[in-house]
Chain A
């Protein structure tokens, strides 16, 4: 069933090698939610990608890329050969390393990235070489999807000193994803909220704590990745086929609905009941195509695919 995921075979490329000069210390090492920011970024991306490539500068200090349990994260580490050439180099080295044909490139300092938006960007690559969001009046090359085939062009750019990623976009088939389209998946554009100064960092920590809610204890790398497939009314309303979620350990089907409601608020009402943790009548939930869910306290297992369908099968 993996083949059905738009992200199947896609790699995530996480760039960590920026100068961090305004921050005053290396961003990748900043503690975030009880772990270094780079580890946090990798864990967030894990449910969506079969391959994760971390690109770091030649001499850059990195924390151990491990979960809280000590288990190593499935990451390929690439070192940038020449220091501080900028993002084009990072993208180039990352794509070079990818096994599959497609790479989603991001930096490690966007803790609020939306997996729904990333899935959408990936799904748009079919007839293009680059899919790049346009947010707050500018293209966002460090939150974009690239075909690996563009790597040689990036190399040419490096050699000729064209160090701005957007120079590439004129040369290849580029799909720009505009603000309205972005808002369908990430209403506030939090995916583009990166941290450049200590103030940014503090604000992000604060936002993160608020999002989690005060009562919830910080959980160690405990995350249950699962995918929700939307069918029927849910798909038409959300304008997306599937959403990847990373839920806390012990999460139940009711948690899936809440997480989905948060990601796709447009589903609240027509598909998800207003309380956010059950389905509106006329919809049903099935796990892995096998069991129809009647009990919302059923626990979700890692890798589960959860179908939200328009229930009435008649016709």
Chain B
């Protein structure tokens, strides 16, 4: 087999045992790697209706066929499990050297079940090339309470192995904060609470050291494409990522009236200029950085007044800035640092705190009022972030995410919980980006800008972004399928515009890696299959049509400021778009998948 190792490592933490299972080529061809392979394994390995924090819920790490090929931006891995935040699928990506090492460990996926007593970390690797790596369960009590960064450093030094790569959880994961991340080298598998599932297994970290190089079918052909993509990745198409990074979105979104502000009360922020990527670049730029083997290098480190460097990207900037009314770049940098240290998803953390701020201002959450939690107040905001990670006081309620917290608090508070399926919305205002609104409503993992890039249609001028119609259904489905293929090959989203014909070029590349003869039509089909299986998983876990919906505020209030002033979203507009989506997908009018469709995709 080329491009894959054809192996799954199953680990049971309760019995401290592991076994190797062959992965059939048919599965790999049907789902590729990354998110696709992860979804397929989750569907098969998770008992139906499993509790997310149950030892039986598998925590799955996958690598992918393009990882390790030298193709720019492909050093990525996926983490898939049942989400403690949504109760549906959680599929998260992270990048860099851990991804390369996972592939070099001689496997395509790791599925972890059980619960260790006491906490452990896993060390996988250390054998001669060609031999199966050894799996060690190592004591982790001394690492408990440590940040992911500290954990990485301690594990490296105790293994006396500088080349070992580590993914770890922070306190948030240990304390089962439902939006905790898994972190490696300062990057995170961020959304959906995968870190909390890892915490529920008493698994502090995974350390890897591999030496199995995977072979590709046509090394020269792969190198030639890699060289071409490297060239393309340095053109004007990626200039935004290379010269500013994703923080560039903030000023643009503000001008276009799509910057969610103060818990989606507004879509413009008066202090956007100070927080803009342009200002940050001029005033606080420290360093540019990138994932392993990436030529774009979109990451930006900014210097805070204390002199410390902090990574910042748009979603973090929006969620810890305008969404909470925070205008001081320094406070945002501090908040981002706390999230990194504790292992908190910045979007859900910001979204949940914005909910708490609004509840406090409306007099619904006395504890938050006592702490002085209000829009724009930096100090209590920073304290609350720490409290969430430690689950202390009010933090314990907020660690549940906005949906559960609102259910517990009751009253009108659910009106201000800005989530879909329990997952807090990222930084794209749905009322002024109607295709994206649909993307949020129907996404299997909840409100998400990664598994659906539907905003692209809104920003393209192809459609009227301020009003929705049934035609958006096809655009959203196509965008989801495209994302699924990217996320399963895996290629970074920021390379996507460097392809002239993504499906044809990827099919050619995949053929040269695997030796299969793939067509663009086959890859399109893979995308559809992955999304359909995600939905099928959700249906098995109890999905109902009302789960594909948007928070009531978006349907009840028109935007008060900016170029989209007066624009709202109506129930019938949303219904029409959702109907269009189900139709485009070939599902029934309530969003369930007909048998025929499943069979057609080989899922029946």
Q: Which residues of A contact B (CB under 8 A)?
A: 229, 231-233, 235-237, 270-271, 280-284, 286, 288-294, 307, 309-315
Q: Is B513 an interface residue (CB 8 A)?
A: no
Query: Counting CB contacts under 8 A, is B246 at the interface?
Result: yes
Query: Chain B: residues with CB nearer than 8 A to chain A?
Result: 235-241, 243-246, 248-249, 251-253, 255-257, 277-278, 281-282, 298, 313-315, 449, 453, 455-456, 459-462, 466, 493-494, 496-497, 562-564
B472 to chain A, nearest CB (A): 16
Q: How far is the CA of A235 from the CA of B244 in the complex (A)?
A: 10
Is chain B's binding surface mostly helix, strand, loop or mixed?
Answer: helix
Instruction: List 26 interface pairs A-B (beta carbons < 8 Å), by A numbering.
Output: A231-B251, A231-B278, A232-B244, A233-B240, A235-B251, A237-B243, A270-B236, A270-B239, A281-B237, A281-B497, A282-B240, A289-B564, A290-B466, A292-B459, A294-B461, A294-B462, A310-B240, A312-B494, A313-B249, A313-B456, A313-B459, A314-B496, A315-B246, A315-B314, A315-B493, A315-B494
User: When the two chains form their complex, are residues B277 and A232 in contact, meaning their CB atoms are under 8 A apart?
Assistant: yes
Complex alpha-carbon distance, A229 and B254, angstroms: 13
The complex places the Cα of A312 from the Cα of B245 at a distance, in Å, of 11
Determine which of A232, A236, A288 lies in contact with B252 in the assembled complex, contact meaning CB atoms within 8 Å.
Answer: A232
Q: What's the least CB distance linking A233 to chain B, in Å?
A: 5
Q: Is the CB of A236 within 8 A of B562?
A: no
* B315 with A315: CB separation less than 8 A: yes
Given contacts A232-B240, A281-B237, A282-B238, contact A292 B314 (CB under 8 A): no
CB of B244 within 8 A of CB of A236, answer: yes
> Which chain B residue lies CB-closest to A237?
B243
Chain A residue at smallest Cβ distance from B450: A314
Cα–Cα distance between A161 and B583 once the two chains are bound (Å)? 84
Taking a contact as CB atoms closer than 8 A, the residue among A232, A233, A311 that contacts B459 in the complex is: A311
A280 and B236 in contact (CB under 8 A), knowing A292-B460, A314-B494? Answer: yes
Given A281-B236, A315-B315, answer yes or no on A310-B252 (Cβ-Cβ < 8 Å): yes
Which single residue of chain B is at the shortest CB-CB distance from A229? Answer: B255
- Asked if residues B244 and A282 are in contact (CB atoms below 8 Å), the reply is no
Q: A232-B240, A232-B278, A236-B244 are in contact. Are A290 and B255 (CB under 8 A)?
A: no
Bound Cα distance A288, B466 (Å): 14
Pairwise interchain contact A231-B255, C-beta atoms closer than 8 A: yes
Collect the chain B residues with CB atoms within 8 Å of residue A231's CB. Answer: 248, 251-252, 255, 278
Q: How far is the CB of B386 from chain A (nearest CB, A)?
A: 27
Q: Which 4 A-B residue pairings sit nearest by Cβ, starting from the closest?
A: A315-B246, A292-B461, A289-B563, A310-B240
B236-A313 in contact (CB<8A)? no
Q: A236-B281, A293-B461, A315-B315 are in contact. Are A282 and B236 (CB under 8 A)?
A: yes
- Residues A236 and B243 in contact in the complex (CB < 8 Å), given A313-B249, A314-B493: yes
Partner of B240, one of A286, A288, A294, A312: A312
B315 contacts A282, C-beta separation under 8 Å: no
Given A281-B236, A290-B466, A310-B248, 17 additional A-B pairs, CB 8 A: A231-B248, A231-B278, A232-B278, A233-B240, A235-B251, A236-B281, A281-B497, A286-B256, A288-B563, A289-B563, A289-B564, A292-B460, A307-B256, A313-B249, A313-B253, A314-B456, A315-B249
